[in-house]
């Protein structure tokens, strides 16, 4: 069963305990100055953003059909059956195509290291495999971040919106976006206010490149035959022309030129 | 030791290389963050946008010309095939060098060859570029074999020449277009002036155009600097092909912009629309007008200027795709740090220097009379390439 995270911003009190738990689980330093940063980075894999008295989390969405996994030339990213999208650092060559391609701009880079790696939230893959919830969900004191089966979480989110329609934006962010994500968001104010794009297609991104890549085998076979054919025909034409212009041929047809 | 003569260009090259060497130290000791203006918001800069995207495009003369001569049997173009292959080979080697700077872990550059992900455009590009560089090396080997009079190897090379060329053309078609396909995955990030489902087609057609333009440019440069006879008849024909090529591209481009409704955006003056206008006016409209005039099309000067404009126009296009078009969604302005420019400048400088040396010591322009006119390559001579 595919797991997921439901973050309900209306329950969030902005205590940032999820940030602290995340840093701890990933072996990253955390103090007040890190806590004050409102952008994701290689040393801060999740952030709680605030706008007035409203909050919103940002973490890897762990897409159902992840763009990063499709674009990575060495297949360092993998969507696990349990839901998390994992990153195998030993494969990474550092091309940073994942950073460019991710529709949520989640993967971040260790810019200040001589031998850098990509960092991103992997939905605590090791814990999830063991049947535990993610570190952030475990740390959340209000239940704003809730871990569970993705399908059940979607049903619950729909129920919450139905029960208090004036409290929520009528949209479960992540249910449809780019083919669905393991992380689902609920908010009382428009998602754009926190930099979330709501215009994303519900089609999974990797299809965009697959449509072209899938033609390659055809292109190779047709192309090779076509080029070979052109070579044969033009070569033959040149040979015929040369033969017709040769002195022997000219003597035969009695041309004096 | 012989005295080294300092010419203007040698001094420029020396300064570039010094700056490049210092930048290289910074890059590998202190990392990408300290040596570039790249950031999480803007992960690809000038090393990808120029060195890779433009480098591969500027080296397209190799497959364009080999196809013309070997596959289409237009034998009269044979005299300019070798310089085109040399440029392409140098171009690709230097693209790989640039990648070693840009990749966070360049020492793993071989990973895509053993860790496969066929769903990735980058994976396909990695394979194509690797294979095509090998093909170019094999094509260029003829020159070396000739110079060293290795008759047996030369015969083998001749026997496999056509299959090699076919392979090279296919690989080029694939990766030239795939450089465009790389950006198909960012519909919400790349500005509508440049994001298009047609990107692979546009990248391929522009590569052919630039291949032709660069061949004209090289021939003109070579005649000026190496005292080589200008093959005017050939250049005029290349000029005509170039006119057809950029016209096809222009039609494709405007049709695409119109159908996606992006043409309307052009009337709103913006940072992006100015750079789009630059790309279209400089690389397409002016050269089309110039090449339509017979007197211009048939003069060395006219062809030279037209081909330079086309090349610069398409360089602008690639930079627009890779940099300008991505700035809006990233919310930052990117301008390369001096270190990035120093590395790129050094790479270009090295390319010119190697080309000059190769022309001097290898039968590049005169395959008919191998090594008759070429002087012996003594170590001291190598030092002062040209006096």
Closest CA to B231 of B60, B77, B62: B77
* Residues B57/B50, Cβ–Cβ less than 8 Å: no
Chain B nearest-CA residue for A108: B40
The token pair at B110 is 């071989």
- Nearest residue to A1 via CA among A122, A154, A135, A142: A154
Parse chain A into domains and list their residue ranges: 3-204, 215-253
Closest residue by Cα to residue B122 from A94, A62, A87: A94
Ranges A98-107, B113-122, B195-204, B265-274: which has the least confidence: B265-274
Look at residue A234 in the predicted model and tell me its pLDDT.
94
Q: Which residues contact A18 (CB under 8 A, 6 or more apart)?
A: A46, A48, A57, A135, A136, A137, A139, A140, A145
User: What's the rounded Cα separation, in Å, for the pair A156 and A7?
Assistant: 11
Question: Which residues are paired to A183 by β-bridges?
Answer: A5
pLDDT tens-digit readout, A56-113: 999 999 999 999 999 999 999 999 999 999 999 999 999 999 999 999 999 999 999 9
pTM value? Answer: 0.91
pLDDT computed for residue B22 by the predictor: 97
Of A74, A205, A219, the CB nearest to B112: A74
Whether A91 sits inside 8 A of B33 (CB atoms) is no
Band of residue B334 on the pLDDT scale cut at 50, 70, 90: very high
Percentage of the residues of chain B whose pLDDT score is greater than 70:
93
pLDDT of residue B384: 45
pLDDT-derived band at B373 (thresholds 50, 70, 90) equals very low
Q: How far is Cα A146 from Cα A140, in angstroms, rounded to an integer?
A: 8
- A150's CB contacts (< 8 A; 6+ apart) are A2, A3, A4, A83, A182, A184
**The two three-digit tokens of residue B371, written as one number:** 């090594």
Is residue A22 predicted with pLDDT exceeding 90? yes
Q: What mean pLDDT do residues A200-225 have?
A: 92
> Domain-by-domain residue ranges, chain B?
10-383
Q: Are B377 and B361 in contact (CB under 8 A)?
A: yes
Residue B172 has pLDDT above 80, yes or no: yes
Q: What is the mean pLDDT of residues B192-219?
A: 95
Question: Which of A95, A208, A213 lies at the smallest CB-CB distance from B103?
Answer: A95
pLDDT tens, position by position, B349-366: 999 899 889 888 888 876
- The rounded distance, in Å, linking the Cα atoms of B263 and A231 is 41
Look-up of token digits 């005649």:
B223
Strand partners, A87: A77
Q: What is the pLDDT of residues B220-245, one digit of tens each?
A: 888 877 777 778 889 999 999 999 99
In total, the C-beta contacts within 8 angstroms joining chain A to chain B are: 164
B194 vs A: CB within 8 A? no
Q: How far is CA B306 from CA A186, B50, B209, in A?
A: 57, 21, 12
For B375: left if phi > 0, alpha if psi spans -120 to 50, otherwise beta; the answer is beta
Residue B329 confidence class, pLDDT cut points 50, 70, 90: very high
Burial class (CB in 10 A: 0-12, 13-18, 19+), B109: middle
Q: Cβ(B186)–Cβ(A101) under 8 Å? A: yes
- Considering the segment(s) B10-383 as one domain, its CATH architecture is Up-down Bundle (1.20)
Q: For A3-204, give the CATH class.
A: alpha beta
Residues of B in contact with A209 (CB under 8 A): 119-121, 181, 184-185
pLDDT for B372 beyond 60: no
Q: CA-nearest residue of chain A to B69?
A: A231
């Amino acid at each position: 069963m595919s797991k997921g995270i439901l973050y309900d911003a209306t329950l969030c009190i902005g205590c940032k305990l999820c940030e602290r738990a995340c840093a701890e689980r990933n072996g990253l330093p955390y103090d007040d100055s890190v806590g004050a940063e409102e952008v994701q980075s290689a040393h801060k894999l999740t952030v709680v953003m605030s706008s007035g008295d409203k909050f919103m989390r940002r973490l890897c969405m762990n897409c159902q059909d992840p763009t990063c996994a499709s674009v990575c030339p060495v297949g360092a990213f993998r969507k696990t059956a349990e839901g998390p999208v994992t990153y195998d650092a030993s494969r990474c060559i550092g091309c940073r195509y994942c950073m460019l391609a991710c529709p949520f701009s989640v993967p971040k880079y260790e810019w200040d290291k001589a031998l850098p790696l990509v960092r991103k939230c992997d939905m605590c893959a090791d814990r999830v495999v063991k049947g535990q919830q993610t570190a952030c969900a475990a740390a959340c004191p209000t239940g704003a971040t809730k871990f569970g089966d993705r399908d059940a979480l979607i049903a619950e989110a729909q129920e919450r919106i139905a029960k208090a329609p004036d409290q929520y934006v009528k949209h479960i962010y992540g249910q449809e976006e780019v083919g669905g994500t393991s992380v689902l968001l609920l908010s009382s104010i428009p998602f754009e206010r926190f930099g979330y794009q709501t215009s994303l297609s519900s089609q999974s991104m990797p299809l965009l490149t697959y449509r072209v890549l899938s033609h390659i085998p055809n292109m190779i076979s047709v192309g090779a035959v076509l080029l070979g054919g052109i070579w044969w025909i033009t070569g033959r034409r040149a040979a015929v022309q040369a033969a017709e212009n040769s002195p022997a041929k000219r003597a035969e047809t009695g041309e004096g030129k | 030791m012989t005295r080294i003569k300092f010419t203007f260009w040698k001094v420029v090259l020396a300064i570039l290389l010094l700056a490049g060497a210092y930048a290289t130290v910074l890059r590998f000791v202190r990392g990408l963050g300290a040596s570039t203006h790249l950031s999480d918001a803007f992960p690809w800069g000038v090393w990808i946008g120029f060195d890779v995207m433009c480098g591969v495009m500027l080296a397209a003369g190799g497959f364009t010309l080999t196809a013309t001569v070997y596959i289409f049997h237009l034998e009269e173009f044979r005299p300019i095939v070798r310089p085109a292959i040399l440029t392409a080979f140098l171009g690709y080697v230097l693209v790989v060098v640039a990648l070693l700077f840009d990749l966070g872990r360049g020492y793993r550059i071989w990973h895509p060859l053993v860790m496969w992900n066929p769903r990735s455009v980058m994976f396909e590009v990695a394979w194509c570029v690797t294979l095509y560089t090998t093909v170019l090396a094999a094509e260029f080997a003829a020159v070396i074999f000739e110079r060293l009079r290795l008759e047996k190897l030369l015969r083998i090379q001749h026997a496999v020449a056509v299959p090699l060329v076919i392979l090279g053309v296919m690989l080029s078609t694939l990766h030239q277009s795939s450089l465009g396909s790389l950006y198909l995955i960012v519909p919400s990030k790349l500005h509508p002036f440049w994001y298009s489902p047609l990107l692979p087609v546009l990248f391929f057609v522009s590569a052919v155009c630039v291949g032709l333009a660069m061949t004209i440019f090289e021939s003109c440069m070579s005649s000026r600097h190496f005292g080589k006879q200008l093959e005017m008849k050939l250049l005029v024909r290349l000029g005509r092909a170039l006119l057809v090529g950029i016209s096809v591209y222009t039609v494709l481009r405007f049709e695409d912009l119109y159908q996606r409704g992006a043409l309307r955006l052009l009337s709103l003056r913006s940072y992006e629309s100015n750079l789009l206008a630059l790309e279209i006016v400089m690389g397409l409209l002016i050269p089309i007008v110039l090449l339509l005039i017979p007197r211009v099309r048939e003069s060395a000067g006219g062809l030279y200027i037209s081909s330079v404009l086309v090349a610069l126009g398409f360089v602008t296009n690639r930079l627009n795709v890779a940099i300008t078009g991505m700035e809006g969604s990233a919310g930052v302005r990117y301008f390369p740090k001096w270190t990035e420019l120093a590395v790129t400048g050094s790479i270009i400088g090295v390319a010119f220097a190697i080309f000059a040396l190769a022309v001097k010591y290898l039968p590049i322009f005169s395959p008919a009379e191998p090594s008759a006119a070429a002087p012996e390559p003594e170590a001291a001579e190598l030092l002062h390439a040209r006096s």
